[in-house]
Copies of this chain bind each other. A is one copy, B any other.
Amino acid sequence: MVQARSVNLREHILDVASGLFYKHGVRNVGIDRIIAESGIARMTLYNHFKSKDLLIEEYLRRASSRWMKWYAGKIERASENPRERILAAFSVLDGWFRSRDYRGCSVTNAMVELADDAHPAAAVKDEYHESLRRLFGGLVSDAGVDDSDELVEELIVVLRGAMISALVDGPQGVAARARRTAEHLLDAHLDGKAAAIRRASSA
């Protein structure tokens, strides 16, 4: 039970820290604030996390992993049609972009804030990118696209552009725009015949 309570406490600290890190940025949130808002003792934090840098790493790892699950789930539930799923990957963003506490991509933000490839958290970005590649790779290959690697990377660029645009320029229309862009990319990568048929049937 001691151990169980420890785990919960650790989780609680990570929850509070995650909220603050995402909302205000990892560099703008100090240890003191995390301690104050989670209502724990200073040493309790350092008992569970060796340093702030490692706390940041753990925050990023959990946040990106949770986001990936949320995102994949949303896409999966959006449609059963492979092509529609790819498009849903962008229209699904709209609600997120419009949510009051939207602050962009936690991983990207942290990389910009830290500006240091040697930071322990920098490793997370590669795993994150690889997960994105896998997710879109699955969607794209389900849709029967050849040269899928290139399409995947293109879609990721659009996704990244949408996330950062929604952050700095506001969410209005961004998701829809990204979806339209993805649609054009998808059509371009489908062989001409299939694309023509699809376009004709959707008209």
Hey, which bits of chain A sit against chain B, CB under 8 A? Answer: 23-25, 27-28, 103-104, 107-109, 111-113, 115, 125, 129, 150, 153-154, 156-162, 164-165, 167-169, 173-174, 177-178, 180-181, 184-185, 187-188
Q: Which residues of B contact A184 (CB under 8 A)?
A: 181, 184-185, 187-188
12 contacts between A and B (CB under 8 A): A23-B115, A24-B115, A25-B113, A25-B115, A125-B169, A154-B180, A156-B169, A157-B165, A157-B181, A158-B161, A160-B168, A181-B185
CA gap between A84 and B107 in the complex, in Å: 35
CA gap between A103 and B25 in the complex, in Å: 18
A167 CB to nearest B CB, Å: 7
B161 and A108 form a contact (CB under 8 A)? no
- The chain B residue with its CB closest to the CB of A24 is B115
Q: Which residues of B contact A113 (CB under 8 A)?
A: 25, 27, 112-113
CA gap between A181 and B154 in the complex, in Å: 7
Contact with A156, one of B107, B112, B157, B165 (Cβ below 8 angstroms): B165
CA gap between A82 and B154 in the complex, in Å: 24
B25 and A112 form a contact (CB under 8 A)? yes
Q: Which residues of B contact A129 (CB under 8 A)?
A: 168-169
Q: Which residues of B contact A157 (CB under 8 A)?
A: 158, 161-162, 165, 174, 177-178, 181
B177 and A153 form a contact (CB under 8 A)? yes
A167 and B27 form a contact (CB under 8 A)? no
- The chain B residue with its CB closest to the CB of A132 is B169
A195 CB to nearest B CB, Å: 10
Q: Which residues of B contact A27 (CB under 8 A)?
A: 27-28, 113
- The chain B residue with its CB closest to the CB of A189 is B184
Contact with A104, one of B112, B125, B165, B181 (Cβ below 8 angstroms): B112
CA gap between A169 and B129 in the complex, in Å: 7
